[in-house]
Amino acid sequence: MAAPHPHGTGDWWRSAVIYQVYPRSFADGDGDGTGDLAGVRARLPHLAELGVDALWFTPWYLSPLVDGGYDVADYRTVDPAFGTLAEAEKLIAEARELGIGVIVDIVPNHVSDRHAWFRAALAAGPGSPERELFHFRPGRGEHGELPPNTWPSQFSGPTWTRVEDGEWYLHLFTPEQPDLNWAHPAVRQEHEDVLRFWFERGVAGVRIDSAALLAKDPALADFTEGVDPHPYIDQDELHDIYRSWRAVADEYGAVFVGEVWLPDAERFARYLRPDELHTAFNFAFLACPWEPGRLRRTIDATLAEHAPVGAPATWVLCNHDVTRTVTRYGRADTAFDFATKAFGTPTDIALGTRRARAAALLTLALPGSVYLYQGEELGLPEADIPLDRIQDPMHFRSGGTDPGRDGCRVPLPWTADAPHAGFGPGPGAPWLPQPDGWAAYAADRQAADPGSMLTLYRRALRLRRTTRGFGDGPLTWLPAPDGVLAFTRPGGLTCVVNLAPEPVRLPAHDTVLLTSGPLDEDGRLPGDTAVWLRSGSRVEED
Ligand code: NOJ
């Protein structure tokens, strides 16, 4: 059995900074234009220097990559585009040497249509035990030509696809991602085995994809939004599944983070009961606009919903599915919403960057753990992908109205003066085009610039590691003028974020630890700027 995670106490995850690696776009080790594990291994020093506690890898398993790897053909094999299982094992061990844990991504709701189980189900035909692992049904209508029910898709477009023998199968995402039948014991057994497979290889945790979607109404009855109870989101059966998973994880000292998008705080918190998942992503914070009242309410609601179950909050500003932070914060509407994504939304990147810098200090000072998406530390904007290069199925399934998620998945710039901004060593062009000016964001250039986003993140993460008061624990709001968020943490840390246009005086303090931008000539905190102070109690308006 693998040893418990090396971060000293078993509670490392309650305060951790976890960096999300999208392997296809992180760094290309072999020069073919696709990121890979060799690229990640070569860049581990960047991650150690940044000062993160763990890496969450989006799926690296064998996959046709129809949905960026969330269509898994075999959980026990690394996709050759990314490397080999032996390389993944080396990467896990090398990261661990640097004090960095590895979190893998498990996608239990569905598999790829190339997965052995689905191939066997197709071959075996209607009524076979192989088909029972999925949701196969005859169609409706005189000739079975209509789908079995009216369930909505998670990706727009149909949720059922008909196969040659006339049966239909359910897929909440693309047709290449058939949903598994979680009422079947073999499905449960297989996933517990997969968890063990990766825990045995020393991973520190597992991110659970679409964690609230697995269980389905067994009747597969029709659904009308607003009329019927939801047939597949947040079904009660899920808790039993996660209690079993938790028992497996506890054998290894490993932790879970669930992808649980639920508007109901009480329902959300159920997943975080002490014998279920350790943590879940905080999507309310990710979607929250850059507005002081909304942010404060979201922070308070987050802390209130976690408190009764004793779970730490997580704080997330972006990930591989959503608009990059500097672009979102530079728009007129600074909230994130899948429903309003559109081509050509104007943005002011300088303003968005200023706010993203302030948001970084806010986020890193809040109680709990923080997720950082690759490229966030470089302040990368969302890229406009030329129409003929878009790959994301979300774009195609929307009928072309949704730009899709490729704009936040563009291969990272590492070296300003190298071809393709140093993404890889060879001539291979990156799998998604890098926009003009990408080299200006290169890590090597930013490392040498004291005013860069990378320098800000490095300093912030170092302080967060070495100063008392960060991470898990209480937060106390301080009185502050309109538009200003100010709070203290135990040990005398104060964070002040000015979201108003006018500068404000800093509260009494001993030391300015870090600012997201320069103070003005009178030592006041300008708008869209944040500061970390030691001690202090009030924020005064000028
Ligand atoms: C959530 C993942 O983050 C997203 O990228 C994926 O498309 C869906 N789940 C389906 O697996």
- β-strand partners of 358: none
Q: Which residues line ligand 1 (CB under 6 A)?
A: 67-68, 70, 107, 173, 209-210, 259, 320-321
Judged by DSSP in three states, 396 sits in helix
Distance CA 319, CA 374 (A): 8
Catalytic residue among 251, 264, 275, 449: 251
Judged by DSSP in three states, 253 sits in coil
Convert the pLDDT of each residue in 178-200 to its tens digit: 999 999 999 999 999 999 999 99
Distance CA 25, CA 119 (A): 30
Establish whether 251 is a catalytic residue.
yes
Convert the pLDDT of each residue in 431-457 to its tens digit: 999 999 999 999 999 999 999 999 999
Do the Cβ atoms of 499 and 396 come closer than 8 Å? no
- β-strand partners of 179: 110
Catalytic residue among 176, 179, 209, 276: 209
pLDDT score at 542: 41
Task: Name the residue among 317, 298, 412, 310 with its Cα closest to residue 361.
Answer: 317
> In angstroms, what is the span from residue 514 Cα to ligand 1's centroid?
36
Establish whether 193 is a catalytic residue.
no
Kindly list the structural domains of the chain, giving each domain's residue range(s) and its CATH number in brackets, ordered by start. Answer: 12-109+185-210+251-259+268-460 (3.20.20.80), 116-170 (3.90.400.10), 474-541 (2.60.40.1180)
Of all protein residues, the one whose alpha carbon is nearest to atom 3 of ligand 1 is: 321
Do the Cβ atoms of 69 and 109 come closer than 8 Å? no
pLDDT score at 79: 98
Convert the pLDDT of each residue in 52-107 to its tens digit: 999 999 999 999 999 999 999 999 999 999 999 999 999 999 999 999 999 999 99
Do the Cβ atoms of 211 and 117 come closer than 8 Å? no
Question: What are the Cα distances from residue 540, in Å, to 294, 328, 497, 507, 532?
Answer: 21, 29, 13, 7, 16
Judged by DSSP in three states, 496 sits in strand
> What is the pLDDT averaged over residues 506-528?
97
Residue 247 phi, psi dihedral angles, 5° rounding? -60, -40
Distance CA 366, CA 111 (A): 36
Convert the pLDDT of each residue in 368-407 to its tens digit: 999 999 999 999 999 999 999 999 999 999 999 999 999 9
pTM of the model: 0.97
> What is the pLDDT averaged over residues 209-236?
96
Task: Name the residue among 191, 159, 78, 171 with its Cα closest to residue 118.
Answer: 171
Task: Identify which of 173, 176, 322, 397 to mutate to test ligand 1's pocket (most ligand atoms within 8 A of the CB).
Answer: 173
State what percent of residues in the chain have pLDDT above 90. Answer: 95
Question: What are the Cα distances from residue 233, in Å, to 130, 144, 218, 263?
Answer: 25, 27, 13, 11
DSSP assignment string, 269-311: HHTTSTTS-SEE--HHHHH--S-HHHHHHHHHHHHHHHGGGTP
pLDDT score at 9: 57
